[in-house]
């Protein structure tokens, strides 16, 4: 969900059209991130709305030190975590939507295509992880936040984040191997066989 | 060299999550142990797939975007209206103060200065000083 800097600056200057365009371009990414964190579509929609209300309030303070999408992900994380503190989890696994890659897929190496195909299958397995493990994994491994950022967002120590992360990765790999008949290992083995570093 | 049992907890970690010592120990072990190398590669592959998830987007339910747009529209109005009202109120109050002050000023200038009530009624003012009279005291009476 990369966004032009000009569009962000226009929205900051009070251009209503620019703000609405910003929402149109980013709302799927925000909703997806929220869904992965809170675990159910209704709460994810509420989080999405709250995120943009906060964006309207805080956009003037955005200084372009990080990319807009990074900033938006942090806002989404904070709003989602606040929401989770207020609400009890009502997530049913069957409520998790199977993601569709809405971006126009540019020609990409087969390795990247494999990763995307695997990512689609992973989505449901990630949704089935215990909440604490899922949130840590999503923030760290999907959205690339640092261990310290994840710890701050979740009110945990960095050590606790690492423990949850380790368990989540281990469990996910085991479940994926069970679901795919060891495809991850097979892919990795094939990759090693071609002589490339992993 | 460390055993498989010691290295296993390090296999799911990304390189930047390990200390220099841990990273070196893992690399040395993986270079010589096929089983752990396969495991490490599988975790690496998993990491790539998880990172690729960031580009997958779920389409929200119908109406979600419209609700967001309406909400931020209301928010912008709600943010703007009190400010406008406050500014209008402050301006009105200032204008009213100036009008009243000018009216009072004109009224004072138009009327002659009013005499105190006691002066109009013929009574001596409380501020009139009494003539200094000799106070009869026993000493004064003896002298007379």
- Chain B neighbors of A35, CB-CB under 8 A: 58
Distance CA(B80)–CA(B67), nearest Å, equals 20
Identify the residue among B8, B31, B35, B72 best suited for mutation to test binding to A, counting A beta carbons within 10 A and taking the highest: B72
Model's pTM, two decimal places? 0.68
The rounded mean pLDDT for chain A is 82
What phi and psi values does residue A108 have, to the nearest 5 degrees?
-135, 160
Query: Above 50 in pLDDT, residue A70?
Result: yes
Number of Cβ within 10 Å of residue B23's Cβ equals: 16
- Min mean pLDDT across A154-158, B52-56, B85-89, B129-133 is at B129-133
Identify the residue among B34, B40, B54 best suited for mutation to test binding to A, counting A beta carbons within 10 A and taking the highest: B54
Distance CA(B20)–CA(B88), nearest Å, equals 65
Distance CA(A173)–CA(A125), nearest Å, equals 10
Over the stretch A156-185, which tens digit does the pLDDT of each residue have? 999 999 999 999 999 999 988 887 765 554
Query: Above 80 in pLDDT, residue B68?
Result: yes
Query: For residue A13, what are its two tokens?
Result: 């200057």
Query: Above 80 in pLDDT, residue A45?
Result: yes
pLDDT for res B2? 83
Query: For residue A198, what are its two tokens?
Result: 């992993």
Contact present, B57 and A26 (Cβ < 8 Å): no
pLDDT for res B84? 52
B42 and A184: CB-CB below 8 Å?
Answer: yes
Q: Which of B42, B49, B67 sits opposite A115 (nearest CB)?
A: B49
Q: Token pair 């503190």 is at which residue?
A: A85
pLDDT for res A91? 46
pLDDT for res A85? 82
Among chain B residues, the shortest Cα distance to A184 is held by B42
Among chain A residues, the shortest Cα distance to B10 is held by A166
Among chain A residues, the shortest Cα distance to B34 is held by A189
Distance CA(A34)–CA(A81), nearest Å, equals 9
Query: Above 60 in pLDDT, residue B141?
Result: no
Query: Above 80 in pLDDT, residue A17?
Result: yes
Taking alpha carbons only, the member of A194, A184, A177, A17 closest to residue A115 is A184
Range B112-118 average pLDDT: 53
Over the stretch A96-133, which tens digit does the pLDDT of each residue have? 454 554 444 444 567 667 777 888 888 989 999 999 99
Contact present, A113 and A120 (Cβ < 8 Å): no
**Which percentage of chain A shows pLDDT scores above 70?**
77
ipTM of predicted complex: 0.76
């Amino acid at each position: 969900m990369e966004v032009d800097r000009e569009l962000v600056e226009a929205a900051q200057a009070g251009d209503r059209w620019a703000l609405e365009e910003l929402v149109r371009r980013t709302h799927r990414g925000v909703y997806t991130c929220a869904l992965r964190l809170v675990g159910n579509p209704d709460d994810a929609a509420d989080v999405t709305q709250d995120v943009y209300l906060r964006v309207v309030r805080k956009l003037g303070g955005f200084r372009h030190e990080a990319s807009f999408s990074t900033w938006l992900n942090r806002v989404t994380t904070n709003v989602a975590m606040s929401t989770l503190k207020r609400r009890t989890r009502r997530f049913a696994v069957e409520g998790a939507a199977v993601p569709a890659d809405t971006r126009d897929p540019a020609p990409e190496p087969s390795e990247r295509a494999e990763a995307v195909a695997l990512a689609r299958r992973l989505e449901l397995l990630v949704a089935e992880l215990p909440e604490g493990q899922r949130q840590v994994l999503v923030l760290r491994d999907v959205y690339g936040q640092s261990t310290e950022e994840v710890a701050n967002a979740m009110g945990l120590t960095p050590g606790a984040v690492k423990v949850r992360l380790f368990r989540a990765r281990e469990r996910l790999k085991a479940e994926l191997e069970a679901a795919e008949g060891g495809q991850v290992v097979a892919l990795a083995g094939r990759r090693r066989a071609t002589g490339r570093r992993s | 060299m460390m055993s498989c049992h010691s290295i296993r907890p390090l296999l799911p970690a990304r390189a930047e999550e390990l200390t220099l010592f841990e990273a070196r120990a893992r690399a040395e072990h993986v270079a010589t142990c096929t089983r752990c190398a396969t495991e490490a590669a599988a975790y690496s592959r998993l990491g790539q797939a998880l990172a690729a998830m960031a580009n997958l987007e779920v389409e929200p339910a119908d109406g979600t975007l419209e609700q967001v747009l309406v909400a931020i529209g209301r928010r912008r109005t709600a943010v703007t209206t009190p400010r406008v009202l406050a500014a209008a109120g402050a301006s009105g109050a200032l204008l009213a103060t100036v009008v009243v002050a000018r009216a009072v000023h004109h009224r004072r200038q138009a009327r002659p200065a009013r005499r105190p009530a006691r002066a109009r009624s013929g009574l001596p003012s409380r501020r009139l000083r009494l003539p200094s009279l000799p106070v009869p005291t026993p000493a004064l009476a003896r002298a007379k």
